[in-house]
Structure 1
Amino acid sequence: MTDHWHAPLRHIKAADLSGNTGQTSGMTRLEAVSGKTVGAEKVWMGQTHVAPDTNSGDHHHGEAETAIYVVSGNPVFVFAEGEEEVRIQTGPGDYVFVPPFVPHREENPNAEEAVVVIARSSQEGIVVNLPSLWAPVAT
C-alpha cells in the first residue's frame, strides 16, 4: 500500500511530453505533469512553443491560476484592461502571472521561437479559446 509518505517520485523526460492537451492556434502546448500523465490532483505543468512571427489565438484558462516562466525568446503577453490593449514584453528569466478567467494571448514578434514553462492550479490543462480579448468569457 502506498501512502503520502511513500509515494514514488515521477520523472517525465523531455522526449515524453505530450501534445494531447488543449491547444490554441499559433502555439504548441506540451503537457508534462497533469492528472493524465502522473495522477496529479492540484497542478498542471508543461511548456508552450510559439513560432517566430506568430500570435496565439485569444484564450483563457478557466478557474485555474497560471504562472509562466520564460525559458527562451522574447514573447509578448497581451490582455485587455478596460478599452485598452496592454502588452507585457518579456525575456528569458521573466515570470508572468495570469489570474483565472483573464482573456489573453501570446505573441512572438521575433525571428526565434519563444519557449515558456507553464504551471496551473488545476490537474488539467484548461483552455477556452475566444474570438477576441473582449469576448464574453465562456466557462
Structure 2
Amino acid sequence: MPESDGFHPDFPNDAAQRPPRNRVRHVKSTDLDATTAQTDGMQRFAALSGATVGSEKLWMGETIAAPGMSSANHHHGESETMIFVRSGHPEFVFLDGDDEVRVRTDPGDYVFVPPHLPHREENPDPTTPAELVIARSSQEAIVVNLPALYAL
C-alpha cells in the first residue's frame, strides 16, 4: 500500500521506527493487521496501533466472534477496553465475587472492561458472527489468556 495511505504493517513496535506523528493516518478496512494477540474462539484485527499509525497511547481494531463460539478466559493487562457492538448479540461473562455475571448485548451497544478483569466473550447465535469494534488504552493489543475466570 502506498505510504500516503498511512498504513505501515512493516514498522516494528520500537518508538524510533514508528510512522511520523505529524499527519492524519488512514487505514482501510481491507488493510487490517491479523498478527495481533489472539484468544481461542475469536479473530482480532489491529487497525490503529503503534505499528500501523504511530500511536503511543491507544489501540483500536475489531474482533469477529464466530457463530456459537465461546472465547478462552482472558484479560487485557493494564489496558482499559471499550467495545462497540457493530453486529450480532455477543455476551460478556465475568465474575462478581462468586457470582458469574452475563452481559447480553445488541447492535449499537457499548461495553467497558476494566484493566485486569478476567472475562470471556460468547456468541450464542449458531449461524451469524458477531462483529465488535475494540479500543484500548495501550498502543498494542494485550491479551493474557487464563485457565478460568479468576485472577491468578
Q: TM-score, normalised by structure 1?
A: 0.92
Q: Deviations over 1:39-66 (max 9, x none)?
A: 1001000000000000110000000000
Q: In the alignment, is the contact (CA less than 8 A) between 2:69 and 2:122 conserved in 1?
A: yes
Paired with 2:51 and 2:117, the residues of 1 have a C-alpha distance of 25
Q: In the alignment, is the contact (CA less than 8 A) between 2:117 and 2:151 conserved in 1?
A: no
Aligned residue in 2 for 1:113: 129
Q: How does 1:93-108 map to 2 (within 5 A)?
A: 93-108=108-123
- Give the superposition deviation at 1:95: 0.2
- Give the superposition deviation at 1:135: 4.4
5+ residue gaps, structure 1: none
Paired with 1:134 and 1:122, the residues of 2 have a C-alpha distance of 23
Aligned residue in 2 for 1:133: 149
Aligned residue in 2 for 1:50: 65
Of 19, 22, 25, the residue aligned with 1:10 is: 25
Paired with 2:74 and 2:150, the residues of 1 have a C-alpha distance of 10
Q: How does 1:63-78 map to 2 (within 5 A)?
A: 63-78=78-93
Paired with 2:79 and 2:36, the residues of 1 have a C-alpha distance of 15
Q: TM-score, normalised by structure 2?
A: 0.84
Q: Deviations over 1:85-106 (max 9, x none)?
A: 1000001000000000000000
Paired with 2:93 and 2:52, the residues of 1 have a C-alpha distance of 30
Aligned residue in 2 for 1:89: 104
Aligned residue in 2 for 1:123: 139
> How many residue pairs get matched?
132
Paired with 2:106 and 2:132, the residues of 1 have a C-alpha distance of 10
Amino acid at match of 1:95: Y
Question: Alignment RMSD, CA only?
Answer: 1.2
Aligned residue in 1 for 2:56: 41
Paired with 1:100 and 1:126, the residues of 2 have a C-alpha distance of 10
Q: In the alignment, is the contact (CA less than 8 A) between 2:83 and 2:133 conserved in 1?
A: yes
Paired with 2:68 and 2:140, the residues of 1 have a C-alpha distance of 29
Name the % identity.
60
